[in-house]
Each structure stands twice: as structure tokens, then as C-alpha cells.
């Protein structure tokens, strides 16, 4: 059994507790217009951008990479995070990899858009100690417009994860002209409160992916958009705090 992996990032400090290894799975059912990992979406990487080509890897090969940093996980309370792209697209592999991590006493997390059937979602999340659950938009029509898919299956899976008492952190990419108004912040708060999620990471829009679009010869509709910085989100963050959320930027 093999999976298509486009990156393995060591010593990550932002994708769950402690020091982590993050495994990036290729493929995603969403097409967010601001995606910073367009290499996860393309089927054929041009010859001029071979650094973005995926690798086909077995569970044993990935575990070997992961276990090289065992001492760091143990020391810091860290572990492994599966990200992407969308990890749920390679669900059998992801579930087995997470199970193997648990057997090795590693903390397990997935970063996911949550866009999958409930069966697939539950199969993978059963082995995850933490869900970093992306939330792009609270409004179904805008979600469809900016990502290409409805948010309804995502919200369904989110509710299901809450009722299974999963540890969940909602991750909101704050994107100019998409979801960055103070009204947007209030609407996110009211939806998340209804669902029962009280911890949020705000991810200010950045331009780290811009070069990749050029190298991959892809159109990028956010090309001329300025990046946001934490200081741009002071009032936005305050709305979450005043609604009782634990927030990190
Ligand atoms: S869900 Fe993530 S990987 Fe998929 S298109 Fe959106 S930003 Fe890119």
C-alpha cells in the first residue's frame, strides 16, 4: 500500500502540540482560490517545477522518517500531523499510518477540510487525537464560490466529531474580501458556538504560495492581494475572544 506524498516537514511547531513531523498528502477535493499549496492540486507537474513532484511512499518508508525524531517528540510532547492537500482522499492509507503512529506511542493529529463522506471521515479520525479542522466560510454560497464545494458535508462531519468528543481546533484562513470583515468574525463565532467548538486558530492570508503558481504555470486570482499580519486582525480576534473563544494567531 502506497500514498502520494508531496512533502514531509520536520520540526513543525504550529500543527499540534510539541515538535511534530507533518506529512503532506497529495490531492484535494477543494480548490480554494488562495491555496498556498497548489502543487497538491495539479495532476501533472511541469518539468521546470520537479521540486513539487509527489513521491509514492509506503507506510514503512514514512514511519522510518517519522521515527528518526522520536527523541524530540518524547521531549516536547509532540508527534505526527497528517495534512495536505486533503488527507481524507487517501483514507485507507491515512488510517493505517495513524494507527501505526499510535502503536509507537506518538500523538496523532490531522489537518483537514473535513470534506468527505461520514464513513471516510470517521475511519480516519478514529485514530486522530486532535483535529485541526479548516473552516473557510460559514456561508454555503460563498463557500461554494471560493472553494468549489458546499460547506454542508463539512459542517455535518464537524458536528459528528464534536458529538464523538474529539479534541478539535477550528482553523480559519482569514482572506481579504472573502471572510475578513468584523461581521464575518461574528458569523463564524455564532456558527462555531452552535456546533460546540471553542478553540480557534486564525491564519492570516499570506503569499508564500505565489512563486509556486508561477513555476507550475497556474493562474492565481490572489496574485495582487496584500498579505495580512497579526496586527491587522486585532479587532477580528477580539470578536472571537469576547464570544468566549480561545484564540491563537
Ligand atoms: S483545502 Fe487546503 S489544500 Fe485544499 S485547496 Fe483549500 S487551501 Fe488548498
Sorted by where each begins, the domain ranges of the chain are 2-248
Contact 70, 36 (CB under 8 A): no
Helix (H, G, I), strand (E, B) or coil at 64: helix
Average pLDDT over residues 77-81: 98
The confidence score (pLDDT) of residue 45 equals 85
The confidence score (pLDDT) of residue 189 equals 98
- Residue 44, pLDDT > 80, answer no
Residue 241, ligand 1, Cβ within 6 A:
no
> What is the CATH number that goes with domain 2-248?
3.20.20.70
Q: 60 C-alpha to center of ligand 1: Å?
A: 27
The confidence score (pLDDT) of residue 50 equals 82
Residue 185, ligand 1, Cβ within 6 A:
no
Ligand 1 atom index nearest CA of 31: 5
Residue 28, ligand 1, Cβ within 6 A:
yes
What does pTM read for this prediction?
Answer: 0.96
The C-alpha atoms of residue 118 and residue 105 are separated, in whole angstroms, by: 27
Q: 136 C-alpha to center of ligand 1: Å?
A: 9
Which residues pair with residue 119 across a beta bridge? none
Tell me the pLDDT tens digit for each residue of 188-245: 999 999 999 999 999 999 999 999 999 999 999 999 899 999 999 999 999 999 999 9
Amino acid at each position: 500500500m502506497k500514498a502520494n506524498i508531496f512533502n514531509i516537514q520536520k520540526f513543525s511547531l504550529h500543527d499540534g502540540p510539541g515538535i511534530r513531523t507533518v506529512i503532506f498528502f497529495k490531492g484535494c477535493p477543494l480548490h480554494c482560490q488562495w491555496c498556498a499549496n497548489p502543487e497538491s492540486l495539479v495532476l501533472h507537474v511541469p518539468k521546470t517545477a520537479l521540486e513539487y513532484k509527489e513521491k509514492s511512499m509506503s507506510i514503512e518508508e514514512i514511519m522510518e522518517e517519522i521515527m528518526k525524531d522520536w527523541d524530540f517528540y518524547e521531549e516536547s510532547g509532540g508527534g505526527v500531523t497528517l495534512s495536505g492537500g486533503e488527507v481524507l482522499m487517501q483514507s485507507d492509507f491515512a488510517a493505517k499510518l495513524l494507527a501505526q503512529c499510535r502503536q509507537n506511542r506518538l500523538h496523532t493529529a490531522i489537518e483537514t477540510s473535513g470534506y468527505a463522506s461520514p464513513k471516510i471521515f470517521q475511519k480516519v479520525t478514529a485514530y486522530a487525537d486532535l483535529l485541526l479542522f479548516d473552516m473557510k466560510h460559514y456561508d454555503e454560497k460563498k463557500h461554494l464560490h471560493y472553494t468549489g464545494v458546499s460547506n454542508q458535508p463539512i459542517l455535518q462531519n464537524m458536528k459528528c466529531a464534536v458529538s464523538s468528543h474529539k479534541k478539535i481546533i477550528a482553523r480559519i484562513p482569514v482572506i481579504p474580501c472573502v471572510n475578513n470583515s468584523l461581521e464575518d468574525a461574528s458569523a463564524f463565532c455564532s456558527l462555531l458556538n452552535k456546533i460546540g467548538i471553542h478553540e480557534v486558530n486564525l491564519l492570516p492570508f499570506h503569499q508564500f504560495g505565489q512563486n509556486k503558481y508561477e513555476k507550475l504555470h497556474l493562474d492565481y486570482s490572489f496574485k495582487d492581494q496584500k498579505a495580512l499580519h497579526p496586527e491587522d486582525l486585532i479587532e477580528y480576534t477580539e470578536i472571537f475572544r469576547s464570544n468566549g473563544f480561545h484564540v491563537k494567531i
